[in-house]
Structure 1
């Protein structure tokens, strides 16, 4: 039995070396891309902002979308609860920027268990333009954001544009997530981009043609899905449209929460990935090179070969973290806590293992189960 486990983790360790090397290549090739801006291409854009409650830095995040270096865009703020304190903030912003096309929509209509999607559906009819941008409320962008991400739409085959995000926090659970996003999530995405193309999108940015949204069944199609952002990028590709990942990184602010809350949220996301892309989820085992190499060394009593592979995997992981934190993202959290990336990988492996079994999640203080189609239903 020990010999069998040694062989299994030996194979996984060698696979992880290949993964880490390909991560370095994928990151280099992606971040070497240049964004070419055509100053004569600036189609009108409607921005949908689903809101719920007063998050940290919310005013700063929303203001970054209001102050765009772009000729024609509108922002539709969507709120479900008429007593939500975020309404006062939106009204303040509308008064502060009277020259901008800003609209507040308060409507409690529910079309499914995913309340964010209901929020988006309620605001859609107030969008006047042919390009719809969906971006979560905890995202901050620079002034060149719209004019950069819109460029791929010069190609009529492009139906959706999305982009990566990096996270920032000043608390330990947030720092753990920030390191996981940069050193695990981003390499995984860029490898998937190289191997199978972009067939997904992220809630940080989903810019899509309104006609494409209508062709996939609009928001009603995904009203009971936890993976709404994934589907908005995936479903159009099944109709022959392209989803493009642009080389533009937005900032994601992480709310302060307990470690247990962090675990529950991550388990929810991981189970979402499992039902959306099961083969990819299983393949994630190769991304945990630190865990694989430690277990391989343990089963081989830290002999010369296993110890050497352990050192190689730790070195590659450190190089990836350094490259992303210092060279590509210039992320202060990574710079200050780079040594924690090994612990973060072990934590994420634990979450991956928990996510592999079961289909129950906790979301918005409610318990749900996920069926084989990735749809939510009450426990």
Structure 2
């Protein structure tokens, strides 16, 4: 059993590396839309939720001003007109006067407990285009990203690349880069650029279920206005049917991981599919301590647990430590092959695959100057994965942006009071002290 499961996992990993990472991410061709006139291409509204002065904020926001695409508008979404990020926004608006850029102030609009959804609502109601690109404030993208993404979301008629089912979401795998070389930041970088990317790409390659991280997502407002997050199929979806009651972005304010729920709703309610472009969402990681990293991982495991329980319970069996131990025991029982010889081979093979994933996403191998630091962070991530999973699986409360929530069925949340006991509660409170690593309103990783 352990040996067969090990074989299946290896095949899944190899599929992500050989069929997607190398082919898709090591070559990023220029889209014809990049040089097309505005009148001949679909319009896009870019929404960027902001809160304070984030790591690398100027460069992150500037990357959307410099997109090689002639027909888009920008909305910078803030809670109030005193937000510090507006200084950066106004400098960029003056630098790029030819770009249609707007500031959208929330002014108390509240549609649910999710602060990111509340932040976006004013701009969402004002957009001029049907295609919406929601892009977190800690993300920087290459100039050709929008054109290549629209190519996938809206392929030309009779295009040979047109899928059998319409694409409802185009998303981008996160790629982390460290701006402050702390222990937690290094481990987060190793996690996002190896294990997370590997499994995320593999799951989306198999594409048997929705799996979307919301740091950078394109979808159509007209599709979102037909769904409500119930995940119940709409009987006449192909004929333009829609769910009863509240729909659209406001209906997802009750979820903490609204990005994943929006993608799942488009998948299950409308029968649409998702696709990754060949671009990455470059994610700047600032000053993250070890406790910050642990608290962050606990938070999102708990969210996933309430949304996709079976997948969350199976996560340990995708981790190198548990899989290696089980496979070594099975191999020893069946063939007498010694674990002391199998385990080094296993971990070296696992590391080789992870380093290859990193090279595909980054466009280059891990630089020699940081190789040993990266390997140490990678090893720490692998060793911490199971203890973090066990701590996360026994609770339902999470802390996000200084507020505590209880995660309920299907990922809905409700506010709870301060406190929270036990080891995980202490870790959450500790992590709050230096949380300047990810100021943006991020969602599930």
Check whether TM > 0.5.
Answer: yes
Counterpart mapping for 1:134-153 below 5 A: 134-152=134-152, 153=154
- Runs of 5+ unmatched residues, structure 2: 156-161, 228-246, 417-445
- For residues 265-322 of structure 1, the C-alpha deviation after alignment (integer angstroms, 9 at most, x for no partner) is 211111122222212112212211224435777999xx85322331232122111122
Q: Secondary structure of 1:312's partner?
A: helix
- For residues 13-68 of structure 1, the C-alpha deviation after alignment (integer angstroms, 9 at most, x for no partner) is 76345413421222210121366634457311100000001011101100011111
What is the deviation of 1:151?
A: 0.7
Aligned in 2, Cα 1:126/1:82: closer, same or farther, shift over 3 Å?
A: same
State TM-score, norm by structure 1: 0.89
Other-structure match for 1:188: 199
Other-structure match for 1:24: 14
What is the deviation of 1:162?
A: 0.7
Q: Contact (CA 8 Å) 2:55, 2:286: kept in 1 or not?
A: yes
Other-structure match for 1:244: 275
Counterpart mapping for 1:92-171 below 5 A: 92-107=91-106, 108-152=108-152, 153-154=154-155, 155=162, 157-169=166-178, 170-171=181-182
- For residues 179-206 of structure 1, the C-alpha deviation after alignment (integer angstroms, 9 at most, x for no partner) is 1112211111122123344613222211
Deviates more, 1:140-149 or 1:23-32: 23-32
Separation in 1, partners of 2:372, 2:42 = 41
Other-structure match for 2:309: 278
What is the deviation of 1:331?
A: 6.0
What is the deviation of 1:328?
A: 4.4
Q: Contact (CA 8 Å) 1:149, 1:246: kept in 2 or not?
A: yes
Q: Secondary structure of 1:358's partner?
A: coil
Separation in 2, partners of 1:260, 1:298 = 33
Q: Secondary structure of 2:133's partner?
A: strand
Separation in 2, partners of 1:197, 1:75 = 34
Deviates more, 1:152-161 or 1:311-320: 152-161
Other-structure match for 1:345: 382
Aligned in 2, Cα 1:307/1:204: closer, same or farther, shift over 3 Å?
A: same
State TM-score, norm by structure 2: 0.77
Q: Contact (CA 8 Å) 1:65, 1:141: kept in 2 or not?
A: yes
Counterpart mapping for 1:177-256 below 5 A: 177-197=188-208, 199-216=210-227, 217-238=247-268, 239-256=270-287
Q: Contact (CA 8 Å) 1:118, 1:219: kept in 2 or not?
A: no
Aligned in 2, Cα 1:127/1:174: closer, same or farther, shift over 3 Å?
A: same
Separation in 2, partners of 1:304, 1:364 = 50
Separation in 2, partners of 1:368, 1:355 = 14
Counterpart mapping for 1:45-84 below 5 A: 45-84=44-83
